[in-house]
Every structure is written in C-alpha cells, then in structure tokens.
Amino acid sequence: MELEKRAVEAKGWRWMPGMRIRSIRMHLRIIGRNGDGSYRLSWDDPDRPIEGDNYSAEDLSKAKPDLTDPATIGCLLALVRDAHRDAYMAAGCDGEDWIVADCDGLQVSRGRSEREVLVKALEAAPEYKELKL
C-alpha cells in the first residue's frame, strides 16, 4: 500500500474514470465525474449488480488506487504523460528493470515493476497544473 499512497500524494495525481479503487469498499470503479466535482462510482464485482454511487473528492482522499488493475495502470500512464507534457512517454522493461522514458528516449525513472516506475515518474514530474480542456 506504500506505493498506492505515494501515487495519490504525487503532485500530478487525480482520479480518472476507469480507475479501480481500494479502501472505501471493495470492487469499486470510477465511472465519471459530476459537475460539482464529485465522482460517480460503480461496483466492479461480477456477483453484484451495477449501481452508481456518488462520492466527494474528500471521500476519495481516503481511498487508494488498485495498482494491480490494468485499467488503473493505463490511467496512471496517462497521468504521467500529462504531468510531463509528453504524449509519447512510455514504460518498458530493459531486461531486469522497468524504465519510463520520454519522447527523446531519456530515462525519467527506473524500478522493479511497471507500477513502481510510473509512480516514480509521476513524483518526478515538474511543477504541475492541470489543463482545463
């Protein structure tokens, strides 16, 4: 859980639709964001019906992302690209280690797993301001 905590504390972190959440209830996934800034969540459990609940940003401040979930890892990569302003930044394995490199091939972070290098890359991002598109 240390890695998940570091991810949400990184300056470029924000919750995104598609991310799977731990800590509020098991098996929840963000499905959207409301106009008031709250998030819509749905069960992500095959044994339960799909239903939506709303949670405030404050509610999610206690939650952690599920960094074993492929969709959440994809969202984390999108956050890294956005934070570094580099749409071509990528994670890959170079033998025993994983690296994140920028569009020029320069290493941004190195670690033992894809999720670790993505969190490190998010932490290493320059001063971040979310773009309002």
pLDDT in tens, 23-62: 555 678 888 888 888 888 887 766 665 566 677 777 777 7
Question: Which two three-digit tokens encode residue 21?
Answer: 């959440």
- In whole angstroms, give the CA distance from residue 79 to residue 10: 10
pLDDT recorded at residue 78 = 96
pLDDT recorded at residue 58 = 75
Q: What are phi and psi of 21, to 5 degrees?
A: -110, 140
Residues with Cβ within 8 Å of 133's Cβ and at least 6 positions away in sequence, in order, are none
Domain membership flag for residue 44: yes
pTM given for the model: 0.84
| Side chain identity, residue 119 | V
Domain membership flag for residue 62: yes
Domain membership flag for residue 113: yes
Domain with 18, as residue range(s), is 2-123
Greater confidence (116 vs 95) lies with: 116
Looking at the structure of the chain, the number of domains it has is 1
Greater confidence (64 vs 43) lies with: 64
**Sole residue written with tokens 């098996």:** 27
Contact 89, 80 (CB under 8 A): yes
